[in-house]
Amino acid sequence: MPDRRTPPFAIIARVLLVPYIVGVALIVWLPASIAGRVTGIAFRIALYVSEHYGIAYATSATIFEFVANIALFIPLGLLLVAAWPRSNAWVVLLIGYSASATIELVQTMLPSRYPTLSDVVANTIGTAIGCLAVRLFVQRHPRRALTPQPVAAP
Cα–Cα distances in angstroms (integers) from residue 93 to residues 10, 21, 75, 99, in the given order: 18, 16, 13, 10
CA distance 84 to 87: 5
Provide the 3-class DSSP secondary structure of residue 66: helix
CA of residue 63 relative to chain centroid, distance: 17
| pLDDT at residue 40, as a whole number | 76
Q: How far is CA 99 from CA 24, 77, 93, 150, in A?
A: 10, 12, 10, 36
pLDDT tier at 154, thresholds 50, 70, 90: low
Per-residue pLDDT, 142: 64
Q: With 60 as the cut, is the pLDDT of residue 1 above it?
A: no
Contacts of 131 (CB under 8 A, 6+ apart): 77, 78, 80, 81, 89, 92, 93, 96
Predicted confidence band of residue 76 (pLDDT cuts 50, 70, 90): very high
- Would you say residue 60 has pLDDT above 50? yes
CA–CA dist 125, 128 (Å, integer)? 5
What is the structure's pLDDT at 27?
A: 82
Instruction: Provide the mean pLDDT of the chain.
Output: 86
Rounded Cα distance between 54 and 138, Å, is: 43
Asked whether the beta carbons of 146 and 138 are under 8 A apart, the reply is yes
Mean pLDDT calculated for residue range 111-117: 86
Mean pLDDT for the stretch of residues 59-88: 93
The one-letter code for the residue type at 94 is L
Of 29-33, 107-111, 149-153, give the range with the top mean pLDDT. 107-111
Does pLDDT of 12 surpass 80? yes
Average of per-residue pLDDT across 130-137:
92
